[in-house]
Amino acid sequence: MIRVIVVDDHPLFRDGLSGLLATVPDIDVVAAVGEGNDAVRRAVELVPDVVLMDLNLPGVPGLEATRRIVAQAPSVAVLVLTMVDDDDSVLAALQVGARGYLLKGAVQEEVLAAIRAVASGGAVFGPGVAERVLSGGHGRQRGHGAQLSTREAEVLALIAAGRSNPEIARELALSLKTVQNHVSHVLAKMQVKDRTQAALRMRGLS
């Protein structure tokens, strides 16, 4: 059973999402809150598997709430679910420790798959998010000119989440050799020596 806290300041969306998740057999909504401070308090108190985090919250904003949850309850996976669709917000969420980033326009299957993925230690980004951030403005700003394919962006996201090559192979249903090739291409395109530098650069720390 995946224990989830829903955080959103819009009661209709919060209640609707909580009600939807309550119908899913392997998901248990243990709390639903509308403010950042409450999100941190309940996450530390209940230690759920996943916190679904909106960014636009009254009081403590979603990014700061995410940072505090990751710092105080590191086993909790924060999955951002927001209307905010810009590269800076995605990068900021990664930098404070979010395991994934989805837009509220995502379909039900995408949301459920993302919850299950981050609960099992994966990293998840909505369609085009990882590719846009990692091969677009962020890469050029960093000066390494990386132009990653969608698959390479997915591999990099999992590297940044601490996954080994065999784990990445299982997560993406690829052969180990294929994953090794993707990792080599990612390191070459990002002009870094190893996986650690790649992960740091993805999080905007290198």
Spatial contact of 31 and 53, defined as CB atoms under 8 Å apart: no
What is the rounded average pLDDT of the residues 151-164?
80
For the domain made up of 2-125, the CATH class stated in words is alpha beta
Rg, Å, the chain Cα set: 17
pLDDT at 22: 94
For residue 142, pLDDT over 70 is answered with: no
The percent helix, strand, coil of the chain (3-state, each to 5) is: 55, 15, 35
Quick one: pLDDT at residue 141? Answer: 37
Q: Domain locations in the chain?
A: 2-125, 132-202
3-class state of residue 116 by DSSP:
helix
Residue 140 vs residue 162, higher pLDDT: 162
Which has more pLDDT, 7 or 192? 7
Q: Does domain 132-202 have CATH number 1.10.10.10?
A: yes
